[in-house]
Each structure stands twice: as structure tokens, then as C-alpha cells.
């Protein structure tokens, strides 16, 4: 019971003393300039603001700063330094799964979340895994293909 909110962000210890009712996504983009996390709908509908919190995918628009206390948060910037990201990056590139790119940070983190719990998903499981992440460009097929490729080529990473 304190006003001080302590958490880990991309591996670094953070002590936050601002408004606990502020949305995590606003904090990431506004105060930390981590603009890879996008704001799409602010309703938990589009998944553009997805981050990983305590190993689970969450919509950072629906997380108040008070809820972050004690958690470990990874944004696309933190994740991009990992070997797993490299495998997904290569796979997404190989099938041109990126068009405008707005949904991609969220898509990549949704892929990570899926593969972490299910390293060899079926196509149906992939579609379920990214069902909270909307893409208005690709029609999803290339993204699904990219995740299949990452699971195969990156076998053993997850």
C-alpha cells in the first residue's frame, strides 16, 4: 500500500510516482519515448498496444499504472534485442508479412506469447493466438505463414 509503483521495464528497475490511473501505453510512449507500442483504439480491440507483462500478452491501453506494480514489462524495443525476435523478424520479412507496419509490434509480441506456450502451433492455433491483433493491410495470411516459418526455422528457441 504505497504511492510508489515499482516494476521492471525491458530489464531496468523503474520507480514510478505519477498518477496510478494513467494508462501504461501513455507512460511508455509519452514518458519513456518507447513509441514502438502503438495506440490504435484505446479499447482493447486492436492489439496495436500489446506488450508482454509477466510472460503474458496484455493490451497496454487497458492497464493502469497501479496494476504494473511488481510486474515485468517487455515492449517491442526490449524484445527486439533477443534471438527469438531475430527469428520472427526474418520470417516476417521472408513472406512480406509487413505492409504499413502499424500492427506489427503487437503482432510480433502476440507471436512470441503464442510460441512461448505452444512452440509448434497449428494454423488454427496461430489464428487464435493473434485474434486480438487487427491488421487492415495484409489479410492475415502472410502473417500466419510468417509465424509458421518462425516456429519451424526457430525450432528450439521456444
Partner 1 sequence: MVKGIIAKSLRDALELRKDSTFVPYIGGTDLMVEADENKSYLFLHQVPEMKNIAEDEEFIRFGAACTFTEIIKNPLSPMILKQACRQIGAPAVRNMGSIGGNIGNGSAKADSALICMVTDSKLRLASADSERIVPIKDFYLGRKKLNLNPDELIIEILMPKHGLENYYHEKVGARKALAISRVSFAGIMDIKNGVIQNNATAFGAVSDVIIRLDTIDNMLIGKTIEEAKKLRGDYIQAIGDAIVPTRGRVGIEYRKDVCINLLKSFLEVSGI
Least distance in angstroms from the C-beta of 143 to partner 1: 14
By CB under 8 A, residue 48 contacts partner 1: no
Q: How far is CA 61 from CA 26, 28, 41, 84, 140, in A?
A: 8, 10, 8, 25, 23
Please select the residue that binds partner 1; options are 30, 70, 119, 139, rule is CB under 8 A: 70
By CB under 8 A, residue 50 contacts partner 1: yes
Dihedrals phi, psi of 131, to nearest 5 degrees: -65, -15
Q: In sequence order, which residues have a C-beta less than 8 Å from that of residue 54 and are 6 or more positions away?
A: 71, 72
Window contacting partner 1 (CB under 8 A); options: 15-23, 91-99, 136-144, 146-154:
15-23
Q: How far is CA 149 from CA 13, 84, 99, 109, in A?
A: 35, 12, 18, 16
Please select the residue that binds partner 1; options are 8, 67, 84, 90, rule is CB under 8 A: 67
The binding site for partner 1 (CB under 8 A) comprises 1-3, 5, 19-23, 42-45, 47, 50, 53, 56-59, 61-67, 69-70, 110, 113-114, 128-129, 131-133
Amino acid at each position: 500500500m504505497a504511492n510508489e509503483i515499482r516494476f521492471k521495464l525491458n530489464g531496468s528497475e523503474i520507480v514510478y510516482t505519477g498518477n496510478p490511473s494513467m494508462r501504461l501505453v501513455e507512460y511508455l510512449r509519452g514518458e519513456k519515448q518507447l513509441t514502438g507500442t502503438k495506440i490504435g483504439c484505446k479499447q482493447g480491440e486492436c492489439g496495436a498496444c500489446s506488450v508482454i507483462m509477466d510472460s503474458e500478452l496484455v493490451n497496454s491501453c487497458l492497464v493502469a499504472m497501479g496494476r504494473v506494480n511488481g510486474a515485468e514489462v517487455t515492449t517491442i524495443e526490449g524484445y527486439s534485442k533477443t534471438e527469438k525476435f531475430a527469428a520472427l523478424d526474418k520470417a516476417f520479412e521472408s513472406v512480406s508479412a509487413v505492409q504499413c507496419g502499424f500492427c506489427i509490434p503487437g503482432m510480433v509480441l502476440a507471436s512470441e506469447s503464442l510460441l512461448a506456450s505452444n512452440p509448434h502451433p497449428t494454423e488454427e492455433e496461430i489464428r487464435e493466438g493473434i485474434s486480438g491483433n487487427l491488421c487492415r493491410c495484409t489479410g492475415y495470411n502472410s502473417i500466419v505463414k510468417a509465424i509458421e516459418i518462425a516456429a519451424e526455422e526457430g525450432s528450439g528457441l521456444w
